[in-house]
Amino acid sequence: MKLTAPLKISYRNLMAAKFRSFLTVLGIIIGVAAVIIIMAIGQSAQALILDQVSGVGSNLIGVLPGASSSNGPPAAAMGIVITTLTYDDFLALTDGRNVSEVSVGAGYVMGTQTASWNGTDLTSSFVGTTANYPEVEDTSVASGRFFTHDEETNMGRVAVVGSNLVQDLFGGASPLGKTIKIKDQNFTVIGVLAKRGSSGFGVSSQDDSIYIPVITAQKLILGTNYLGFIRLKAKDPSVIPEAMADITTTLRERHHINDPSNDDFSVRDQASAMTTIKQVTDVLRYFLLAIGTISLIVGGVGIMNIMLIAVTQRIREVGLRKAVGAKNSDVQTQFLIESVFISLLGGIIGIVIGVVVSFLVSVVAQALSYSWPFLVSWQSIVVATLVSMAIGIVFGLYPARKASRISPMEALRYE
């Protein structure tokens, strides 16, 4: 009975000033909804990216330029341009005399350029790679063919396009044999890759990219002589440790490195790549989450402000309650319950909105052919609920204590 009475009073006070109460609750609604949405979308995006990486195969080894610690991402994974890997390094690593455990490999450079055909211009990602790309990436050519090793080494001006470009650039017509222009250079389309599916928001998938020989991309498009990264496929997952050791030895010899602390490259297997990607996405997710919590703090300040106004407006009420025997603790409890009630109400509404928005994002993403799971953990809902209550207590404590210290005589004289 002691608990229901303050709740009824809190409800009546909220209904007495509906618009003010709505504005107070709104800050908490936005904050909690933002936290739920960020956590859900962050988890879904992370799951999508990890699924794409794991789908490539479990026996891949990545070689990236730049050193890294054993438990941290390589600098190249953070978007920093490092030029320590070359095409000759790639040839050495795919030479069975150096790394016998590797069956095949591919080198990569990437960029974005405008591709033109028959008056149609399309800004597209392009990938300069090597002839064994389909085997390394476990993909296939739907029509035509992929470029050969001779075309790779002789700067062939040939291109293989992703399946989406058939419609986006060629209007649905067969692109085979047609000439496209990339950075004022003509390329003959010789193949169309099989459809693979989207890789994630903001990340160009195989279906949206143009593939050209790596040396052609270096010399004619980018004007560089280094590789972005190398992928090597081990003959069997069981030999990956030996392959990584041989890769490291080969690169140290080629780069004249005697001290391992001076390594200018990083060698990672698929498990390490998954861990690195998870670390990077976790950092981004927690950063966005920290921004979202600012909304909760703003909402808490709003609650404190409204409760302080309520204390001033209800001085006579407090005086009357004290005059008929209410203790300081009773008044403090009443105002705290009102603060928690407002915050919890906003939290519940925010959770509902957050879940609904996260579900709609999932539906839209799946409609756009993204393998986007709907992930809202019960832990995030529990945390959001507890945080809402905590905000009500923390930001309602000062107004509640201020109300409890009002003198009955002073309150009754107040006009």
Torsion, CA 88, CA 91, CA 95, CA 100, rounded to 10: 100
Answer yes or no: is pLDDT of 414 > 60: no
Q: What is the pTM of this model?
A: 0.60
Please give the structure tokens belonging to residue 46.
């992370």
pLDDT value at position 217?
Answer: 95
Give the tens place of pLDDT for each residue, 267-288.
888 766 667 677 777 777 778 7
Q: What average pLDDT score do residues 63-90 get?
A: 75
Q: What average pLDDT score do residues 233-259 get?
A: 91
**Residue boundaries of the structural domains of the chain:** 4-52+278-413, 83-263
Give the tens place of pLDDT for each residue, 4-38.
666 666 666 666 666 666 777 787 888 888 888 88
> Are the beta carbons of 338 and 11 closer than 8 angstroms?
no
* Residue 8 identity: K
Answer yes or no: is pLDDT of 351 > 50: yes
Give the tens place of pLDDT for each residue, 145-200.
999 999 999 999 999 999 999 999 998 899 999 999 998 899 999 999 998 765 44
Instruction: Quickly list DSSP for 242-296.
Output: HHHHHHHHHHHHHTT--SGGG--EEEEEHHHHHHHHHHHHHHHHHHHHHHHHHHH
pLDDT value at position 200?
Answer: 43
Reported as a pLDDT band with limits 50, 70 and 90, residue 56 is low
Torsion, CA 305, CA 309, CA 312, CA 313, rounded to 10: -160
Q: What angle do CA 37, 40, 42 make, to 5 degrees?
A: 100
Closest CA to 243 of 24, 93, 74, 360: 93
- Where residue 158 falls (left for φ over 0; alpha for ψ -120 to 50; beta otherwise) is beta
Closest CA to 49 of 60, 41, 37, 61: 41
* Whole-number Å distance between alpha carbons of 177 and 402: 81
